[in-house]
Amino acid sequence: MGAGKRGLVATAVAVVCAVTVLGGAGSAFAAPAPTPTPTPTPAPTSAPSVTLPPNRDLEAVHKKLEQLYHDAAVATDAYNAAEEETERQSTEIVELAREIAKGQERLAELKDRAGAAARAQYRSGGLPPEARLWLSDDPQAWLEGVGRIRQGQKATTGLLAELTRTQQDLELYAQDASAQWTKLEASRKAKAAAQTRIKQQIAAAEKLESQLEKKEKERLAELEREAAAKAQTSWLSSGVLDDIDAKATAQGKKAVEFATAQIGKPYVWGAEGPDSFDCSGMTSAAWAAAGVPIPRTSQQQWDQLTRVDVKDMRPGDLIVYFDDASHIAMYIGDGKMVHAPRPGRTVTIAGAGSMPILGVVRPG
């Protein structure tokens, strides 16, 4: 989330806290402070093991690193989802606070009108209007007074009804603000817990790699390339490209152009541009550039976008990887995709079948 979005959260907090003083002295209604009910703090996760396997088995190291970075990707999706919820809830709180402020102003106005009516009655000696009317000797004044009394009674009834409705609305707004505040606090805790998990997984992976000698690191990189090439070859040998011949739409071309223009920019978890991206940050930014807003996280993109068969895939479509939809990339044609792989890597082009494919989704 950018600095502007983070600023929205702070604004929401300040505005909602100010709700309690909007009414001023003498107000019959003071919006209750949106005090959240306590929510359990997620239990801290233990740091993953970073011990080299026996005999410095690089195959085992490769699998361990894959698991660590996969877990970091899952936590990144959780972080991004909580970030979106935080933004949405903050926006709702700001809107509720604005409604409360307007309601408080209306309530004050209505009270002024009711007070003016009461003062007028006091100045008239405290006699009810009906009594003053019957004491009049002027028949014409009597007839006119009957009309005024009826109008006054109707106006008074309407004023009281509006006062009641306004106060009820304010109470509901305050309750809604309190509920949203509680949800906001829960989202913040979820985001913080996910952030901790991400940092732990990445730190563990980096520490594990740091224990390797130069030649071991070179061999590990070779093992990664071999695994990706083997998966891609297997995918291509299935004949999948024989059935993929769909052309990109105009919007799909724009999305592909944006995505490929990001090649070389670093992966940073939670980032959605312009200088760095995580996997779903890149795909959502690419389609936003094409004029089509899509969900932020890879799991949301998998759940909410239209699913298509792999054989019907066309450039611009999004390929979702792993059983938990923890990674996503954009198909660019010729059996290739562009993606932001993981921490320590940059946006790059790779074989579309180099990882286990869960499915394909289509924005728009």
Taking the C-alpha atoms of residue 177 and residue 345, their distance in angstroms, rounded to an integer, is: 42
Distance of CA 236 to the CA centre of its chain: 37
Q: Where are the beta strands (DSSP E) in 101-146?
A: none
Strand partners, 336: 333, 351
Taking the C-alpha atoms of residue 333 and residue 248, their distance in angstroms, rounded to an integer, is: 9
Q: Which of 266, 320, 318 is nearest to 290 (CA)?
A: 318
Taking the C-alpha atoms of residue 86 and residue 158, their distance in angstroms, rounded to an integer, is: 41
Residue 68's identity, in one-letter code, is L
The catalytic residue positions are 279, 327, 339
Taking the C-alpha atoms of residue 189 and residue 305, their distance in angstroms, rounded to an integer, is: 28
Taking the C-alpha atoms of residue 227 and residue 49, their distance in angstroms, rounded to an integer, is: 24
Unique residue bearing structure tokens 């980032």:
271
Under DSSP, the state recorded for 55 is: G
Name the 3-class secondary structure at 5: helix
Residue 281's CB: how many other CB atoms inside 10 A? 25
Taking the C-alpha atoms of residue 170 and residue 85, their distance in angstroms, rounded to an integer, is: 25
Q: Per-residue b/e over 141-169, b at no fewer than 16 CB within 10 Å?
A: eeeebeeeeeeeeeeeeeeeebbeebeeb
